[in-house]
Amino acid sequence: MQAEEIYSVDGLPPEWGGVVAKFVEDHAARNESNDGRGEQYLKALQAAKSGGQFITQAKQYSLALWQWSTKSAPTEILDWVFGNVKSGIEYDTTLRLHYLLFRREQMAWWSVRRKLPQTKKNIHKNAQRLKGSVVPLLVAMEIDDIQLFKHMVTEKRQNRHNKLPYEPGFFVAAYWMAWFLWEGDYGATIQNFKKRLEYKVSERTLRRVIKRLGLTMQKQTAKSATILPGLKKGN
């Protein structure tokens, strides 16, 4: 079973499985060197090809990403993605689906980015990420996705509802499989967020976010929790 088959879901475009597989692999590779895990995701993917909980979670996650990406997309963007309208340049189905997922993540990441303190570290990380977004942003320009660009230039005032620098829903959606968040329990996931993001999220918030995305955690208790190397429970 290939990676795109693991992430394929009945009723969704057949190319979607490959789009999600590439999305997860890229996110895993971006973080594993910093975590000291060394291709942990690719090894787990290879081991999962014969079946098991990984595949169940992968398909559930793929469906969640589809709903996450399509729910807030404007009608004109969905029409383009599904091939109902033409643009100046013809793009194949895989690229259009890739753009759909990129668009949703880009908007979520941009909301996170503008709440971060402007430290040298954050500026460098965000610059690197923006540099990697140039090609899909050119697609946005070609199809005149003005709503995406408006989102990127709109500044939101801080208030008690959006004062947190990170929205946990973004990170759960982006890293559920790449960070093996599904494999642990709520306590382990909270600790992993704290280590990677220097961000503390409550269990109540995390439960709400996971439920809203339509995902389920494999373990509900702290027994056998998966915590990143070098991190002990209770830290």
Q: What is the pLDDT of residues 4-61, one digit of tens each?
A: 999 999 999 999 999 999 999 988 887 766 666 667 777 888 887 656 888 999 999 9
Find where tokens 């570290």 sit. Answer: 121
Confidence of residue 160 (pLDDT cuts 50, 70, 90): very low
Report pLDDT digits (tens) over 169-192.
888 898 899 888 888 778 887 877
Q: What is the pTM of this model?
A: 0.81
Work out the burial of residue 199: count CB atoms within 10 Å of its CB; fewer than 13 is exposed, 13-18 middle, 19 or more buried. Answer: middle
Which residue type, as a one-letter code, is found at position 159? Answer: N
The 10 Å CB-count burial string (b at 16+, else e) for 99-126 is bbbbbbbbbbbbbbbbeeeeeeeeeeeb
Residue 171 has, within 13 A of its CA and on its CB side, a CA count of 23
Least confident residue range of 184-188, 191-195, 214-218: 191-195
Q: Of 82, 70, 46, nearest to 91 (Cα)? A: 82
Round the average pLDDT of the chain to a whole number and report it: 80
Residue 129 has, within 13 A of its CA and on its CB side, a CA count of 18
